[in-house]
Every structure is written in C-alpha cells, then in structure tokens.
A and B are shown apart, each in its own frame.
Chain A
Amino acid sequence: MMASSYNAKEDDGHPSVATGHGGAGTVKNKKPDNTAFKQQRLPAWQPILTAGTVLPAFFVIGLIFIPIGIGLFVTSNNIKEFEIDYTGVDISSPCFNCSQNYIWNSTTPCTCTLPFKLEQPFESNVFMYYGLSNFYQNHRRYVKSRDDSQLNGDQTSLKNPSKECEPYRTSDNRPIAPCGAIANSLFNDTLELFYIDPNGSKNAIPLVKKGIAWWTDKNVKFRNPGGNDNLTVVFKDTSKPVNWRKPVYELDPLDSGNNGFINEDFIVWMRTAALPTFRKLYRIIQKKTNNMTPTLPRGDYILEVTYNYPVRSFEGRKRMILSTISWMGGKNPFLGIAYITVGSVCFFLGIVLLIIHHKYGNRNNSADIPN
C-alpha cells in the first residue's frame, strides 16, 4: 500500500496532511492506523446481482401476494354485514320528522322506527356499530380539545382543565368535566333491536354494552377521580358538558364499573376516528348458548332509534351496521383486492422483465468494454 511505504519527508516545517481517512494520530505521526476500519478494508459482502437472482424475486413476491389476497378477499366475503342509514333525509323515511324538528333541550326524546330484513342468518358474535359520515373527528382543533390528565382521574385537572379545551372548558363559572369538544359531541342516540317472530311477536334482542372499549383505555387511560364510588360527590363542583343532557356521573348509574369517565360508550367516542367516514362499536350481540340457532336468524327486524344526535346541519349521515367479524376484523374487501392487484402487477412486471432480458440481455454478451 502506498500509505505504508511513504517516508514522511517534512519540508519547511509544514506537516504533511493525509487525506481521506480521519488522520487521528500522535503529533509525530499523522498517518491513520493501519486497521481494517480506517483503511477501508473491512470484510464485506458485495452481492453480484444478475438477472438470474433478481427476476425470480418478482415472481416469488407475486406468487406470495396473490394467494394472500385471495385468502383475504374470501375471508372478507364470508363476513356478513348489514347497513341501514337512519338520518332521515328523505321525506319518506321514518326518521324524517325527528331530523327536522330537533331542539337541543327538548325533554321528550324523538323516536323513530325502521323496519328491515336480514336475508342471511348471522352466526357467532354479532357486532353492532353506529357509523357517521362527513364528521371530521380528525380535525386538528377537535383532536386537541381534550384533557387526558382530567380523564385519567387527576384531581387538579378536574378542577382546572387544560386550556386546550377552550371554549368547552368552563360553564356557569364551573369547570366542565369532561372538558373539550370531543367529549361535548358525544354520540347519544339510543339504538334498540327487535326481532319479529314468524308468528308476529316482537322480541327484544339483548345488547351487551361492556367489552366494547380497549382494555388499555378502560383500565389505564380513563380513570374516575377518587375511585369509582360516590361519583356524584366527586363531580360536585363541576358542570356537565354544554350539549349533554345528563352529567357524566349519570351515564350508567346502575353499574359503577361503567359510570363516569370509564363509561365504555364515552371511551369509544373519545378514541377519535382517522377519517371523516367511520364507525364505532356500539353494542355486542352475543351468540346463543346452544350453537344450533344463529345469533340473528333470517327474517324481519325493527330498529328503534331515540334520535338525539343532530347531523343534518353539516350534511352528515348516521347509520347502524350489523356485522360479524373474523380474524381480520370487519368486512374489508379493499385489502384483499389490493393484495391481488399488487401481486399481479408484480408478476406481470416479472414477465415483462423476463422478455426484455431475453431480447436485449443476450445481445450484450459479446460487446466490448465501453469507454
């Protein structure tokens, strides 16, 4: 190596400066050490990529993705889903009157009844969602408008909520609990399902309201200040959010494990959605204890809505969705189709590159080294 055979002939007292490597050394000898790292001689693997190694990658990926896509698509198709819009936009819809005559402080709630029919029976656990459209839960000012300390049960934040909650921070000179725009816009429609027997009797379908929120949310993120008991006392000097009908300690007075901040409907709502069209878990219909009868058999059903939530003013829509789930969650044909598409594109590219390789790659074998 040149560097090692160089004799440092100093001239005019100027030190010679070696370049390229970090010339860290003693004052006498500024040569970089003759180690593999500093002389850039580290053992390395330099893959020699040829067409034979690269082209199969396309086919392999294509052959992996397409079956995955088919599997996902088939799984998604086997998930049964039913959706019904109950905003009441059309004059013929049963909820039209409720959507029109809405007053915030109305004491008599407006109810509407929508009949529907299930063509296929729904097996196993059925999940009931409410869906909203054109509702921007991902708007920045909205997302910031919450106080996680207060929701975690911190006493100081209970009396003095964060500034981010403005303008839903105080009301009647008392702090609002829970503060913020997200809490204020809590979804408060009540949905009930009834099954119409073949002989005409109306059976209420039992809806389970626990187990709908994440475990970490219910047990870590949201805590009632001062424990789960005597919430009326704890929230004494606070006021309810402006657009709520009941204060937070009356969300579920019969069940102390579901009252106050740890009410699961409230928790589900506070977990903001990503996009303007979303759905949130509302209730679970558990499967029957004997596995013979489906959870929701074919037939006629009635959805009774206590219409409290106004969406017409911003062209929003409300829907109720019934869905079975699988290992991949709800019905999602997009993922399966996307996998199939990308796998096919990959496979097709592999074929195109193979053709190019055969036509043009072989011609270059006998050419000279270009200048």
Chain B
Amino acid sequence: QAVLNADYTLTQFRFLQRLLLVHGRWSYRRIAFFLRYFLYKTCSFALVHIWFGFFNGFSAQSLYENWFIVLYTVFYTATPVECLAIFEQDVSAQGSLSCPELYKVGQRQELFNPWLLTATLLYAIYTSLVLFFMPLGVFHNSALDYQTMAVTINMATVFSVTIELVLLTRHWTKWNVVAVCVSLSMFFLCTLITQSRKLFEMSPVDYYFPGVAQNAFCSPVVWLTALLTTWTTVLPSFTVHALNIILTNPDKRKVHNTNDRPVELQRSGFRRGASQRRSSYAVSQGRGIGRLITSEGSLRSTVPPVDRGGTTSDTATLGMLNLRQRLESDG
C-alpha cells in the first residue's frame, strides 16, 4: 500500500544513489530549463501586442495571422524544447555519481528560483521590445503593408526562440538536431501552406493572408530585418553565456568530463551489505525526509553497525522504526 501511494518506490537503498544523483539531478535541470524557456518563448511572442497597441489606437489588433498563433506553440517551437526536456544532460551518469556535490545545485535552488524567473520574464520583455521596434523602424513610412510586417515578425520570433534554445542545449543527440531542423522547416512550410492561394480559394475567411509568404520570403528587406532582429534579441543571452564560460573556473569544467570511479556511500556511514533486506522501504515525499536521510548524524546514531551475514532484516526494521520516531518527533 505504501508502494502504491508513494511517488517513488525503491526496493534497495543502493538505488537511491542513482535515483538522486543522476536522475534527480538531471530531472531538476531539465524541468527548470523547460519551464523557464516556455515562459520566455510564450511571453516574448505575446508581449509584442502590447507595444503594437501604442500604434494601433489600443484596438487589440493582432500582429500575427491566426494560423501562426495556433501553430507557433505546437509545431514551430514545441519539439526542440521537448527534446531538451527529455535528453538534456550536463554531466554524464558516471560524472554525476563521482561528484555528488553537484546535487547541491538543486538543493540550493540555483536553477529555478524567483530571481531567475523574474530575469527570464525581463528577458522576454526585452525580446518582445526588440521584436516589435526593430521592424517598426524599418516599416515606418514605407510602402510595405501590415501582412508583410506580420510575416517578418513571425520569422524573427521563430528564429530568436530557436537560437535561444540552441544556446541552452548542451547535450546534442540526433533527436535534438532533427527537432530543431524540422521545427524551422515546419515554420516555412506551414506559413507557405496557410498563405497559399488554394486554401484561400477554399475558404477566404479562414485563410486571409493569401500570397503574403510568397512575396515576403522573396524580399531581401524582410530577411535582413528578421536576421537583424534575431541577432539583437539573442545578444544579451549570448553575452551572458560567454561571460559564464570566461569566468567559470576551467578546472570545475574538467570535473564534468572525467570518469572517476563512483564514490562509495560507505563514507557517510551507510553500509552496503544490505542486499538481503526483505522489506521494501517506501520513501514518500515529505519535507523532513531529505534532511534526515542525507544528514550523517541521524544515520550514524540510529542505524547500528551491520554484520555481514547477520540478521539484516531485523536491523532494517529497527532502522525504519528509528526513522519513523525521528519523523514523528520532528513533526
């Protein structure tokens, strides 16, 4: 029953090492990056409308075609970030096991805290400002029309968020590469399709941008504007990454790439001879558990030393009883 209610169930204590140090760490990193990137890409593409409001009498006119809004989140930007969330590893499995102190990044909330979220939101606001005002400067008092401006900003947005993702991804599997390439080509393909004459003739109300993509994708001004806007939005992120690389201790980076033998958990007083443990110990997620399990004080004092081949099941039960007592006393 405890197994069915728990989020994670382990049958042996030694699995905890891999679960925490490898998968837990990777999972924290992936989820943190995923959430921050999602916030960034959605806000930067949506906040453009606030700035456009100043120039259209605050009439809530959308700067994008409806199809772009629909397909942006689904086709143009979803698969690369999903690949990031599935495959991203900053350090290999062996490296994670050999440097357990890397786990502290999660405990100290270094990758996902209110400050970082605020920074991401501010960066999204900056991106939306650039995404709007650079094309504004180009299209002001020009003969180019609203629909061409929409396609220009579409292109710039998709390029910007894709490049931001490329900067974030450190572990490039073939799926990551495929996802990025497919998403970009989906943008061009879907834009050409939804703005084609056939679909317009079938339903003029739904496909109301006929011929725009053909005109815009052949226009050098549109491409130049999109490229300039993309690079300007990505510049701060690129600078921050470069600063990180320059200022980080190069030795620290070497840690990520070595394959030392895994650290034995015996050092923290946890014996490894417990392979004959009978009962499964369900660790449900509670607040005080992590502190208890990883603090050496509790392990040393409550778990008596184990003899090889001794009655390990009794000691296991004793250990559980003691831990439960500690939990109840802590409240």
Contact = CB atoms under 8 A, between A and B. Distances in A.
Interface residues of A, number: 87
Question: 7 tightest CB-CB pairs across the interface, nearest first?
Answer: A216-B211, A140-B61, A140-B59, A148-B204, A20-B23, A274-B149, A274-B146
B210 to A, nearest CB: 5
A278 B214 contact: no
A232 interface: no
A367 B249 contact: yes
B56 interface: yes
Interface in B25-65: 26-27, 55-57, 59-62
A192 interface: no
B87 A17 contact: no
A220 B55 contact: no
A345 interface: yes
A interface SS class:
mixed
Contacts of B14: 2
B70 interface: no
A279 to B, nearest CB: 5
A187 interface: no
10 contacts: A2-B15, A16-B11, A44-B87, A138-B146, A214-B215, A216-B214, A271-B146, A272-B145, A329-B143, A339-B224
B107 to A, nearest CB: 14
Contact of B211 (A6, A14, A217, A338): A217
A17 B3 contact: yes
A12 B280 contact: yes
Q: Which of B204, B241, B255 has the most chain A CB atoms closer than 10 A to its own CB?
A: B204
Contacts of B249: 364, 367, 369-370
B248 to A, nearest CB: 8
A11 B252 CA distance: 43
B145 A329 contact: no
Given A335-B224, A360-B246, A330 B170 contact: no
B101 interface: yes
Given A16-B11, A46-B170, A369 B252 contact: yes
A328 B18 CA distance: 59
A65 B241 CA distance: 21
A87 to B, nearest CB: 15
Contact of A346 (B143, B235, B278): B235
Contacts of A327: 220
Nearest to B197: A220
Contacts of B251: 364-365, 367-369
B320 interface: no
B188 interface: no
Contact of B138 (A14, A335, A371): A335
A193 B89 CA distance: 69
B246 A216 contact: no
Interface string A148-171: 110010100000001000000000
A232 to B, nearest CB: 25
A45 B146 CA distance: 42
B246 A51 contact: yes
Interface stretch (A113-121, A248-256, A349-357): A349-357
A68 interface: yes
Interface stretch (B225-233, B293-301, B302-310): B225-233
B172 A58 contact: no
A279 B142 CA distance: 6
Contacts of B149: 274-275
Contact of B221 (A328, A345, A353, A357): A328
Contacts of B140: 275, 277, 334
A131 interface: yes
Interface centre among B145, B225, B250 (most CB of A within 10 A): B145
B283 to A, nearest CB: 11
A221 B145 contact: no
A280 B210 CA distance: 19
A215 B212 CA distance: 11
A40 interface: yes
Interface in A279-294: 279-281
Interface string A195-225: 0000000000000000000111100110000
B204 A149 contact: yes
B93 A40 contact: yes
Given A54-B241, A329-B221, A44 B57 contact: no
- Report which residue of A47, A136, A162, A338 has the largest number of chain B beta carbons within 10 angstroms of its beta carbon: A338
A325 B235 CA distance: 32
Contact of B279 (A11, A19, A43, A138): A11
A273 B146 CA distance: 5
A142 B246 CA distance: 53
B89 A40 contact: yes
A27 interface: no
Interface string B198-242: 001100110010110011000111001100100110010011011
A50 to B, nearest CB: 7
Given A214-B215, A330-B142, A365-B250, A50 B61 contact: no
A349 B239 contact: yes
A164 B225 CA distance: 33
A45 B172 contact: yes
Nearest to A334: B137
Given A51-B242, A342-B232, 20 more contacts: A6-B15, A14-B280, A16-B280, A17-B8, A20-B27, A44-B173, A48-B257, A49-B245, A136-B56, A140-B60, A149-B204, A215-B211, A275-B139, A329-B221, A332-B138, A335-B137, A349-B235, A349-B239, A353-B243, A367-B249
